[in-house]
């Protein structure tokens, strides 16, 4: 059985963020709960929703995911949406991007998709995993 795109993204994150503990939160009880709880030693926890956009520019988020990220993001908590974006007509891996959005951006992200400026973004082939790791536990700042 082929892997779902989010499973492949989860595996990529897990392989490239050493020395952290990533717990996959697949459940049917806490609707809207992000996909991953990431424990970063000496820094704290972050919750990350994984999304893959392979058609169009829309990031598909359930109402529960929007509510969770909005509620926790507005409190300044480290809730994030990590989007792997495949631009239309992309055939090469070098054109795929990884974009990080804060939970506070969830409504804009749902409405405008990947046109919302990301907090951080990279070509998938050149992700700065140390910068991603560092950013996950920092408060969201629009400056």
The DSSP output letter for 57 is S
CA nearest to 115, candidates 85, 72, 79, 142: 85
| SS3 of residue 51 by DSSP | strand
pLDDT attached to residue 90: 64
Q: Which two tokens stand for residue 11?
A: 């595996």
Can you list the domains of the chain with their CATH numbers? 5-136 (3.40.1350.10)
- What mean pLDDT is predicted for residues 42-70? 93
Residue 30 clears pLDDT 80, i.e. is over it: no
Q: Which long-range contacts link 27-31 to residues 24+ away (Cβ below 8 Å)?
A: 31/62, 31/64
Residues with Cβ within 8 Å of residue 63, at least 6 apart in sequence: 32
pLDDT, one tens digit per residue, over 53-66 is 988 999 999 999 99
């Amino acid at each position: 059985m082929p892997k779902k795109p989010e499973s492949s993204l989860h595996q990529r994150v897990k392989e490239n963020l050493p020395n952290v503990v990533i717990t996959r939160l697949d459940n049917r009880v806490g609707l809207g709960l992000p996909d991953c709880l990431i424990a970063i030693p000496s820094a704290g926890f972050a919750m990350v929703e994984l999304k893959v956009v392979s058609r169009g520019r829309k990031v598909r988020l359930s109402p529960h995911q929007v509510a969770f990220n909005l509620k926790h993001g507005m409190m300044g908590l480290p809730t994030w949406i990590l989007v792997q974006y495949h631009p239309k007509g992309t055939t090469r891996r070098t054109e795929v991007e990884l974009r990080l959005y804060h939970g506070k951006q969830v409504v804009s992200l749902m409405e405008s998709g990947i046109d919302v400026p990301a907090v951080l973004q990279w070509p998938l082939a050149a992700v700065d995993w140390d910068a991603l790791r560092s950013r996950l536990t920092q408060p969201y700042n629009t400056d």
